[in-house]
């Protein structure tokens, strides 16, 4: 095998629910799915899961372990807060050409198919990004305790807070806040829920908020408007300007698209690809420096 032989490209989209691995080699793309990988809560399990997934991926691509190891890999991982996690993963992967990042860059590059533009990720969490050439500017995505404004978890938590405010006489009840207080049988039930709730638990209220906003519920509409305002403020802080491609991704993309100011809605483009597509694109950009 000579240096001139083509290097396979390996893209990994690693999430807390499951991971997907794509291999692009000789113009042929293959994909496998494997288990969850949360590198901040259980790093060793995440590594084992990804290594097993890579074995499957090599088989699916018809590559020997040696051919696979010559690949260029990009790994996007949920829960990779900083270099503590990304270096740990890079060191344990069988590639000498590898880049590891959190899960945002691959999602952005995938959605834009490598073109310039601005992306808002609106799922259980949230983040915003602007891509120009090979530079990527990211903001937000700091988690529900301190951020994730406009996200599903943020909407759900906001609904519970406003339901308590309505109970306390600080604002008018809406049909949805009454429903919530009835379901929880009053504030103590809401408080007990909040003591254990994780972002996904709050995010589970998001579809109801979207539906209620569509039906005219004032509190639900207020939450969506606050989210859209944060979205606009963030996208403008990134430097987005009218006429520039704007792409919303994640489960709340469509609901927010319908409440954005018209000046922004005009520039909306549907996502061109997935985070796995983005990981492959980024794998192609991984430089040739050999890791120690």
CB of 243 to its own copies, least distance (A): 21
**9-14 and 19-25: which strand pairing?**
antiparallel
Q: Is 216 in the site for its own copies (CB under 8 A)?
A: no
Which of 4, 23, 27, 7 has its CA nearest to residue 67? 7
Report the residue from 96, 113, 142, 269 that binds its own copies according to the rule CB under 8 A: 142
- Tokens for 209? 């908020």
Q: Toward its own copies, which CB reaches closer, 1 or 195? A: 195
For the segment 79-98, give every residue that binds its own copies (CB under 8 A): 81-82, 84
Exactly one of 106, 190, 209, 249 binds its own copies (CB under 8 A); that residue is 190
Q: Is 233 in the site for its own copies (CB under 8 A)?
A: yes
Contact between 26 and its own copies by CB under 8 A: the answer reads: no
Binding part of the chain for its own copies, among 48-56, 60-68, 113-121, 184-192 by CB under 8 A, reads: 184-192
Q: What's the CA gap between 244 and 159, in Å, rounded?
A: 33
- Binding track over 153-182 against its own copies, x by CB under 8 A: ----x--xx--x---xxx------------
DSSP annotation string for 242-271: TTS-EEEESTTHHHHHTTS-HHHHTTB---
By rule CB under 8 A, what count of residues binds its own copies?
Answer: 30
Does residue 135 bind its own copies (CB under 8 A)? no
Contact 92, 59 (CB under 8 A): no
Q: Answer yes or no whether residue 136 interacts with its own copies by CB under 8 A.
A: no
Pick between residue 237 and residue 284 the one whose CB is nearest to its own copies: 237
Interface with its own copies, residue 241, by CB under 8 A: no
Return phi, psi of residue 246, to 5°: -130, 135
Q: Does 292 bind its own copies (CB under 8 A)?
A: no
Long-range contacts of 56-65 (CB under 8 A, 24+ apart): 56/21, 56/32, 57/10, 57/21, 57/22, 57/23, 57/30, 57/31, 57/32, 58/23, 60/23, 60/30, 60/31, 60/32, 61/8, 61/23, 61/25, 61/28, 61/30, 63/8, 63/23, 63/25, 65/94
| Sole window of 21-29, 142-150, 249-257, 277-285 interacting with its own copies (rule: CB under 8 A) | 142-150
How far apart CA 168 and CA 212 sit, in angstroms, is 22
Q: Which residues would be at the binding site for its own copies (CB under 8 A)?
A: 40, 81-82, 84, 139-140, 142-143, 145-147, 157, 160-161, 164, 168-170, 187-188, 190-192, 194-195, 197, 233-234, 237-238
């Amino acid at each position: 095998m000579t240096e001139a032989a083509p290097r396979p490209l390996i893209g990994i989209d690693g999430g807390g629910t499951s991971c997907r691995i794509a291999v692009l080699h000789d113009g042929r793309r293959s994909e496998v799915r494997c288990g969850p990988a949360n590198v901040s809560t259980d790093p060793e399990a995440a590594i084992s899961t990804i290594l097993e997934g890579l074995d499957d991926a090599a088989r699916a691509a018809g590559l020997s372990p040696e051919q696979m190891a010559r690949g260029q890999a990009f790994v996007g991982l949920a829960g990779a807060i900083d270099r503590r996690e990304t270096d740990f993963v890079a060191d344990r992967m069988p590639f000498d050409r590898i880049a590891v990042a959190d899960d945002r860059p691959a999602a952005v590059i995938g959605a834009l198919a490598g073109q310039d533009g601005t992306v808002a990720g609106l799922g259980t969490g949230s983040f915003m990004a602007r891509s120009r050439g090979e530079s990527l500017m990211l903001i937000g995505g700091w988690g529900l305790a301190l951020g994730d404004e406009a996200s599903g978890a943020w909407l759900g938590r906001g609904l519970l807070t406003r339901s308590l405010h309505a109970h306390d006489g600080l604002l008018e009840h809406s049909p949805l806040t009454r429903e919530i207080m009835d379901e929880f049988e009053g504030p103590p039930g809401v408080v007990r829920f909040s003591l254990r709730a994780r972002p996904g638990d709050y995010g589970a209220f998001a579809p109801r908020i979207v539906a209620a906003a569509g039906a005219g519920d004032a509190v639900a509409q207020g939450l969506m408007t606050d989210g859209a305002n944060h979205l606009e403020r963030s996208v403008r802080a990134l430097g987005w300007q009218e006429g520039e491609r704007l792409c919303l991704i994640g489960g709340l993309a469509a609901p927010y698209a319908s409440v954005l100011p018209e000046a922004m809605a005009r520039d909306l483009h549907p996502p061109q690809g997935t985070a796995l597509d983005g990981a492959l694109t980024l794998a192609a950009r991984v430089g040739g420096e050999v890791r120690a």
